[in-house]
Amino acid sequence: MPNRRFPAEFTPNEITGLLERKKRSGARILDLTETNPTRVGLGGAGPAELRALACERGARYEPDPRGNRSAREAVARYYEERGDLVSPDDVLLVASTSEAYAHLLRALCEPGDEILVPRPSYPLFEPLAALEDVRVEPYRLAYHQGWRLDIDSVEGAITPRARALVAVQPNNPTGSCLAPAEIGALDTLCADRALAIISDEVFGDFPWPPATTPLRSLVGERKALTFVLSGLSKVCGMPQMKLGWIVAAGPAGSSEEAMRRLEWIADLFLSVSGPVQQALPALLDARRPFQAAVHGRIDRNLARLRNAGPSFRVLEAEGGWSAVLATPPRIADFALRALSEADVLVHPGHFYDVAEDACVVVSLLPEPPVFDEAVARMQRIATEGGKD
């Protein structure tokens, strides 16, 4: 039966359909959309980390809706090492960032309410909100030699049904972060309009060179009720471990009440496994070799992309695992051409609502031989295939 929470139809888009046909024909696809670290030689779960899952206490069932205390203390230490103070009492464990969003939508919104989300950004918010019968209103990130917040678009998107604003730092795929002045403006605006801030910071440990320190976080004192999201998937390169977290901040009374609601919701699901909670201190302690390897891969592939020639331009960004690449404007549908003619998979910018013309989104994680060959093939299209 029809259900407005689901897409009206499930027909693959043009690129997905072409990709499926290419794979069936046996074509070797050079995938520059791959952001799963376990598929590009970067997964953070080695033998020592896997042994941590065998902790004897993990065999016992000791449910705590917020997550066991030692795991939440490990999250607090992680933030302390980044230079931020977090209390374990303000941490709630979840199975994933997607689950964190779902819990927050349930806690903050009634059916028919609205959340504000950045545009461009990852196409996750609409389906998650639809499943909770919540509407999405976009606000604008504009590119002028760097991505900047259009605060007027934020104010214009706020209606009486608005309940929260989502900020992604660094944003996926733009790699942009809010400037301190923009954070202050949003904090004040959201506090004045009784909106919560949801700050998705899963890529916060991955600044682009020359930066070497973690990107700014919204944990800590805030005027507006604020929720910071992160987890093992990006921090440690362990998406298969299925553990993330929410950190609450903001006015004491509001954050405490929000945590009670979130705890009640989490108690209905108890979705985070006991073994991974017991292993979390060891998993977080072991993150540095993984992060160093990712930084090396990003630095190397980003340099290759920036040296791809005059036909390409990497849009300025501050961090993350992906880059927005401006392609030759004379070549229409560059992403489709790359897949059709060169067996190179990139995402067109419109997948993420990138308004700038002639842009594709490229992952910075693929292994160098794959990355280099794919970029070389795209260069040939730019130089030899310019006829529309």
The domain boundary, picked from 225, 254, 286, lies at: 286
Does residue 247 share a domain with residue 143?
yes
Query: Which band of pLDDT confidence, cut at 50, 70 and 90, is reported for residue 276?
Result: very high
In a domain, 200, yes or no: yes
Does residue 244 share a domain with residue 111?
yes
- With a pLDDT cut of 90, the percent of the chain lying above it is 87
Query: Which band of pLDDT confidence, cut at 50, 70 and 90, is reported for residue 3?
Result: confident
Does residue 73 share a domain with residue 135?
yes
CATH code for the domain in which residue 269 is found: 3.40.640.10
In a domain, 81, yes or no: yes
Does residue 374 share a domain with residue 260?
no
Is the link from the previous residue into 210 a cis peptide, with omega within 30 of 0? yes
In a domain, 50, yes or no: no
Q: Which three-class secondary structure state does DSSP give residue 284?
A: helix
Does residue 248 share a domain with residue 157?
yes
Query: What torsion, rounded to 10 degrees, do the Cα atoms 326, 366, 217, 161 define?
Result: 60
CA 343 to chain centre: 26
Q: Which residue's entry shows tokens 């973690």?
A: 214
Q: What is the pTM of this model?
A: 0.95
Integer Cα distance of 75 and 79 in angstroms = 7
Does residue 120 share a domain with residue 238?
yes
In a domain, 51, yes or no: no
Largest CA distance in the chain: 65
Residue 162 has φ and ψ, to the nearest 5°, of: -70, 135
Residue 264 has pLDDT above 60, yes or no: yes
| More reliable by pLDDT, 93 or 43 | 93
Integer Cα distance of 59 and 65 in angstroms = 18
CA torsion sign for 238, 124, 127, 106 is: positive
For range 151-156, the mean pLDDT = 97
Does residue 276 share a domain with residue 191?
yes
Does residue 295 share a domain with residue 271?
no
Residue 384 has pLDDT above 90, yes or no: no
Query: Which band of pLDDT confidence, cut at 50, 70 and 90, is reported for residue 388?
Result: very low
Does residue 242 share a domain with residue 151?
yes
* C-alpha R_g of the chain: 21
Q: Which residues have a Cβ under 8 Å from the Cβ of 326 and sit 6 or more positions away?
A: 312, 313, 314, 315, 356, 358, 359
Other beta carbons within 10 Å of 359 = 26
The domain boundary, picked from 246, 262, 286, lies at: 286
Other beta carbons within 10 Å of 68 = 19
Query: Which band of pLDDT confidence, cut at 50, 70 and 90, is reported for residue 132?
Result: very high
In a domain, 48, yes or no: no
The domain boundary, picked from 286, 317, 346, lies at: 286
Alpha carbon distances (Å) from 236 to 60, 78, 79, 230, 232:
25, 11, 14, 11, 5
Alpha carbon distances (Å) from 340 to 21, 185, 186, 285, 346:
10, 45, 43, 44, 11
Does residue 333 share a domain with residue 273?
no
Helices and strands in the chain: count of H runs, count of E runs: 13, 14
Strand ranges in the chain using DSSP code E only, listed in sequence order? 30-31, 91-94, 114-119, 135-143, 147-149, 162-168, 196-200, 226-231, 244-249, 313-314, 322-326, 344-345, 347-348, 359-363
Can you give the residue range of the structural domain that contains 338?
14-43+288-384
| pLDDT tens, position by position, 166-221 | 999 999 999 999 999 999 999 999 999 999 999 999 999 999 999 999 999 999 99
Mean pLDDT score across all residues of the chain: 94
Residue 387 has pLDDT above 80, yes or no: no
Q: What spatial distance separates the first Cα and last Cα of the chain, rounded to whole Å?
A: 43
CATH code for the domain in which residue 376 is found: 3.90.1150.10
Task: Quote the pLDDT of residue 49.
Answer: 85
In a domain, 270, yes or no: yes
Query: Which band of pLDDT confidence, cut at 50, 70 and 90, is reported for residue 297?
Result: very high
Lowest-confidence pick of 38-47, 242-251, 360-369: 38-47
| pLDDT tens, position by position, 234-243 | 999 999 999 9
| pLDDT tens, position by position, 319-356 | 999 999 999 998 989 999 999 999 999 999 999 999 87
In a domain, 316, yes or no: yes
Residue 275 has pLDDT above 80, yes or no: yes
Alpha carbon distances (Å) from 223 to 7, 344, 384:
37, 46, 55
Does residue 357 share a domain with residue 333?
yes
In a domain, 4, yes or no: no
Token pair for 313: 């331009």
Domain total in the chain = 2
Does residue 221 share a domain with residue 205?
yes
